A and B are shown apart, each in its own frame.
Chain A
Amino acid sequence: MGLLGTCLGTKFSLAPRTLRTVGAKNVVWGALTKMLRCTASSLLLLSSTAFAQDLVAPTNTTVTDQDDWIGILIQSANGSSYGPLEDLIVEVPDHVPFETLPRLGLEVDAIDVTPLLAFENQRFNYRPPQALQPGQHQLRLIEVTLDGDVVERGSWDFTVSSEAAIADNGPDESDASISATNAVEFSQRLADKGFEDTPARGQVSGGGYADAAYSHGQWSVTNNANYLIETQKDRAVSGRGFDLGEYTFNTRFDDEDFFGQVALGHQSLNTDSFIMSNYSRRGLSASLGSGDELLSVTGFSFHPESVVGSENITGLNDSDNRLMGFQATAHPVPAWGKDFSVTGVYYSGKGTEGGVGIGGDSNTNQGDGWSVIAERLLFERSVKITGQFARSNFEQSGVVLGDDEVSGDAWSLALSYTPFQAEEIAGQYLNLTLGGRYERVDTFFSSLANSSLAADRDSLLLYSDLYWGNISANAQGLYQTNNVDDLSGLPTDSLLSLQFTGSYYPTIEPPAEDETDWLGQPYLNLNIGAVDNERVETPEDYFGGSTDNSHLSVTLGGGSSYGAWGWQISETFARFLDRTDASSDTKSYFTDVSANWTISDAVQLSGGVQWGLFTDTDADTRTHNVNVNLGVQAEILPETLRTSLNYNLNLLTGDGDTPDNTVANGEIEWTILPPTENNVGIALAFQGLLENKDGNGDTSIDGTDWQLFSVLRVSAPISY
């Protein structure tokens, strides 16, 4: 890849490295000729305003003997700073030889942007595909000489500000876009055999997602939503034939001094503390902060359950299921800048913790909680200290006996130190971090805003992370006790966990083609975990059993990948030993082999085999499990006719034998009319599924069931 420019809609690509070869020169000269024609044409289209722009002298440019020219950065539209999406234009002096142009490159913040450059009127023009962040940026013009040396032809520091964008766009200019992809399927079950629980033969299902954006000056609005159609209501996302899935409506105002934002729908507060997890919830939030992001405050009101659908569309309709609160982050010490931050969170509310995608424990309670997190970075950020304290107060529902209100605290202190950051040791670069974290979460600590938090633990974690050349290793030791509230009548158990994870990526010189390159680049992984649970303290007259068990797990894996194909294998051994005989001692072996191969752009294969042996040494039983997956995808006629096939075999033999199960499904699709912007697409497909069960002697289970469908697909992509 080398220079790539566009001229009057024509693209051309030049590869500086190929200048060294005669054959390549012809290509380059062809492209140069093309460029020359474009340049000549463009000269006729020169804009007078372009010539009127000011020029910026380069900074930090080292001029060598062979440097006889430097590039010129055209000044921004407002003369001082650039807008986030404003074009960056670098002019090459007229006397620069034409054959030099293909050997030039442009970097923005060390990223090579040459492939996106347009060349016109002796100027390279770069339009950022993403808005540049407000602040300082660097632009660099480079030449790769015929000798292969890199010569800097200009380096500029420039400032981007959001106000500059406003000036560029003009006060009345605005930008809006909307796009949606929609699809509906009309299916008919043509034939079937064996299945008992089948719905009506004709079904309609569909889905779509829409994005809309609008910006005007400092204001921007972004929305997105998805929606589904399903005539089988028990398979619809909310039990309705047509319903909204999830959505977000976001409005933001940006000023140099402050920003404001209001978000409605599914959102995350981007926080992760004892009191509040970063899970997405439906609700409303409003944020206000300083332009330099040193201070921000967010008020929120969320539904504690995970919800989809249009019922309770704001997430705020049910006062018995609602959380309210705020989060504030500040960097209160100006001298420390962003190296010191304090974040506080408070919530209050009541509700249930279940919802879509959640199974099991679904507690209902009400209460409130708060947490404060302080983080400090020291010694060139090689030391990080984090402290957190949280308190929860909640009222447990359904309590008959005793008080239903309880409070709990949680706090942690973490320290990490990086003594080696890219230090060369024994010829290899070494990165090493050492750290520790102490956590104490009370037995009754519970937050409706963090349902998955594991409470009742007093733990100390020590760890090290090492990257040394091609070796990486993580080791950690954890000691933990429970019954943190020291409840009488409850035992106290301890847990000691030692974990090690290591990887080795041997550096292999790229082999010559047609030899052993298919072996690819290998890697090895090793995971070892050992856990020991023991009883620390047993209360007097305790009626329950003791705790004394250990667990060991070792996984050795490896694989290799090269271009279009790759494979991996892993072997896991696990042993569980219960010295109290409350549960069985077990051993298991598990082997996993998988591979994928992209034969061509049109054909892809994938497959894997998993084999497991599970032994209950107390009961002297052995169970074998085999799972096989194969898949193939093929495009028979490009963008017209394609097919896919999946095969799955699952066997469970030995003690605890279960029926063998085979599932195969496939599809062939003919695209009659491909969907294009604002035009309907139509496709016809045939799908089938076959399931075979073998009862291994129980003939009542034996049998093969199958079903076959025809599907008419209509899609409508919309974009404005």
Chain B
Amino acid sequence: MIANSVKSLSRHILLLAIACMATFTTGAQANIVGVTTAPGSAQVAVPNGSAVTFTWQVRRANTTRSPIQTITSNAGTLEIGGTVVATISTVLSQINNTPANLATTEIISETLVVPRNVAFQMARNADLTVIYRRTFDDGSGFTSSGSIRLVPSTGSSVPLGIRRLDLFFEDQSRVKVLPSGAGLAALADLNFDGSGTAQFEWQIAEPSSTRGALVFRRLQVFRRSLAGRGRVTLKSPPLPTTSQGLYIVRLIATDPEFNFSPPELKYFVVPRSEATTAPAGQRVVLSGPAEGALLTGKTEFSWQRTPGAAVYQLEIYPVRPDAPVSPGKVQSIGGELLIDPDELAKQPITGIVLPSDENKTSLQRYSLARLDPGRTYLWRVKAIAGNGAVIGLSPLRQISIDR
């Protein structure tokens, strides 16, 4: 053990001496003479860890060797107070084809994702110096090491980065089989550090590509401000369910990019059949009246049919104060109201039930009499299967009663 250490130390001293000779000796044979980073230090969010992006600057001295060489670093080490706490086995490599007798600096970029267990130790030992070290080899026996200092910091003072992405469907499932035409949306629960504006894309691969070469098309491109609480939930636009077959949906961050492989959700669309019990979680698509319309005796409520429904129930609720959207709740932008469905668990003020072959109705005079003139209400349609299970819900819409 000691012999190995002595041997290693001797080797490093020898290499250092050679490097120094190369620096000060014209026409020397040495190649890599020094490694630095830009910037010299970077902040890491603790205790959860974050990604840091920087460049290695590998300086080469004049050389008479073959100009085409490959500079390689097989691994990096994370050290806290001189103790190696983790090894990063990412290989960095760059081909150098600088003409002979020219001193150059090779620039190699690296994005280091500091693991959570290392960030945990950084937080617990915040008074110790943390460095990330790499040794570069030019392939001809010459090596040199460099390091970047990692400074423990809080989640708000590091550059914006997505740390974790949790994808699931609205009913919290991770895989779905559903009839064609059924409503479906995915949710993305994001944990992030830093603050700023990120750009995302909801992408979908449809059966015309999942059975062959995989091609994703962009369903939606959007920017979203991320700041503060470190967590946000994003909702996809309605996912296609027209064609039968396998679909793959994912959320991609294009700025800043994920430092991990984006997770995917799979769903399979089967033919719609009225004979079978439809799965729960379908979305009843409303046709009219429009958002915020004035309700009169002539107002016609209408919606698109829901597979598997035995009856529809139109429900009217009073608008009630809603709590602010808390972290983790869905925050949608557009005409859809931000109401927690639990708020509607109580009995509606009035409504009407219809058999499944009717998808439009108006309210009777005695139902209208239950509503106060001048007041605003919410309405929705519930699809109920033959066994009594609620298999579909529409989004809420506002409606006002004529004074």
Contacts and interface: CB of A to CB of B under 8 A. Distances in A.
Contacts of A444: 47, 123
Interface residues of A, number: 207
Contacts of A561: 288, 290-291, 335
B120 A424 contact: no
A411 interface: no
A375 to B, nearest CB: 13
A109 B304 CA distance: 26
Q: Which label, helix, strand, loop or mixed, suits the secondary structure of the A interface?
A: strand
Which of B41, B211, B289 is the most central at the interface, judged by chain A CB atoms within 10 Å of its CB?
A: B211
A168 interface: no
Contact of A482 (B155, B319, B347): B155
Contact of B276 (A105, A180, A199, A669): A180
A97 B117 CA distance: 83
B219 interface: yes
A563 interface: yes
Interface stretch (B27-35, B56-64, B138-146, B221-229): B221-229
A531 B225 CA distance: 10
B174 A203 contact: no
Given A646-B217, A650-B218, A110 B177 contact: no
B5 interface: no
Interface in B167-222: 167-168, 171-179, 189, 191, 195-197, 199, 206-222
Interface stretch (A62-70, A207-215, A324-332, A340-348): A207-215
A359 B164 contact: yes
A687 B207 contact: yes
B257 interface: no
A105 to B, nearest CB: 6
Interface stretch (B15-23, B90-98, B99-107, B237-245): B237-245
Given A361-B191, A648-B217, A205 B290 contact: no
B398 interface: yes
A403 B120 CA distance: 10
B85 A111 contact: no
A428 B156 contact: no
B347 A110 contact: yes
Contact of A181 (B49, B211, B220, B276): B276
Contacts, number: 534
B246 interface: yes
A363 interface: yes
Nearest to A586: B197
B277 A646 contact: no
Contacts of A529: 225, 227
A561 B286 CA distance: 11
B330 interface: no
Given A544-B43, A665-B209, A399 B229 contact: no
Interface string A137-179: 0000010100010100000000000000000000000000101
Nearest to A546: B157
A583 B156 CA distance: 13
Interface string A589-628: 0101000001000000000001010100000000001010
A490 B46 contact: yes
A361 B290 contact: no
A112 B334 contact: no
Given A237-B175, A308-B174, A488-B127, A531 B227 contact: yes
B174 A306 contact: yes
A607 to B, nearest CB: 12
Given A551-B227, A557-B334, A717 B275 contact: yes
Contact of A490 (B115, B153, B178, B243): B153
Which of B160, B270, B384 counts the most A-chain CB atoms under 10 A from its CB? B270
Interface in A405-454: 406, 416, 418, 421-422, 424, 427-429, 431-433, 435, 443-444, 451-454
A22 interface: no
Contacts of B65: none
A415 to B, nearest CB: 12
A50 interface: no
Nearest to B159: A583
A260 interface: no
A633 B367 CA distance: 37
B369 interface: yes
B222 A610 contact: yes
Nearest to A364: B117
A544 B151 CA distance: 6
A687 B387 contact: no
Contacts of B302: 563
Q: Which among A115, A360, A564, A705 has the highest number of chain B CB atoms within 10 Å?
A: A360
Contact of A545 (B43, B126, B287, B370): B43
Given A183-B244, A197-B214, A144 B323 contact: no
B112 interface: no
B37 interface: no
Contacts of A245: 175-177
A422 B352 contact: no
Most buried by A among B179, B212, B240: B212
Interface string A225-256: 01110101001010000000110000000000
A508 to B, nearest CB: 7
A400 B121 contact: yes
Nearest to A307: B174
Interface stretch (A293-301, A311-319, A518-526): A518-526
B388 A358 contact: no
B310 A495 contact: no
Scoring A361, A487, A493, A676 by chain B CB atoms within 10 A of each residue's CB, the highest score goes to A361
A465 B321 contact: yes
Contact of A667 (B123, B208, B218, B259): B208
Nearest to A203: B211
Interface stretch (A32-40, A51-59, A473-481): A473-481
Interface stretch (A88-96, A283-291, A456-464, A696-704): A456-464
Interface stretch (A23-31, A73-81, A568-576): A568-576
A467 interface: yes
Contacts of B372: 422, 429
B248 interface: yes
A454 B327 contact: yes
B225 A111 contact: no
| Max chain B C-beta neighbours (<10 A), residue from A205, A452, A474, A566 | A452
A206 B231 CA distance: 36
B365 A150 contact: yes
Interface in A326-372: 355-361, 363
A356 B186 CA distance: 14
B297 interface: yes
Nearest to A144: B365
Contact of B125 (A402, A406, A592, A650): A402
Interface string B230-263: 1100000000101111101000000100111111
Interface centre among B273, B294, B327 (most CB of A within 10 A): B273
Given A112-B352, A181-B179, A398-B115, A715 B212 contact: no
Given A129-B384, A402-B121, A356 B46 contact: no
B381 interface: no
Interface in B331-386: 333-335, 338, 347-355, 358, 361-367, 369-370, 372, 374-376, 384, 386
B174 A688 contact: no
Contacts of A547: 156-157
Interface string B118-136: 1011011111000000000
Closest 8 CB pairs of A and B: A505-B292, A489-B126, A677-B275, A207-B268, A521-B290, A433-B321, A195-B213, A398-B117
23 contacts: A129-B386, A198-B212, A228-B177, A235-B214, A245-B175, A277-B328, A279-B168, A429-B374, A452-B189, A490-B126, A495-B228, A529-B227, A551-B196, A555-B333, A562-B288, A648-B218, A663-B216, A676-B275, A683-B244, A709-B212, A713-B271, A715-B270, A715-B271
Given A235-B214, A361-B164, A629-B219, 8 more contacts: A85-B388, A115-B352, A205-B211, A358-B165, A490-B123, A507-B400, A551-B196, A711-B211
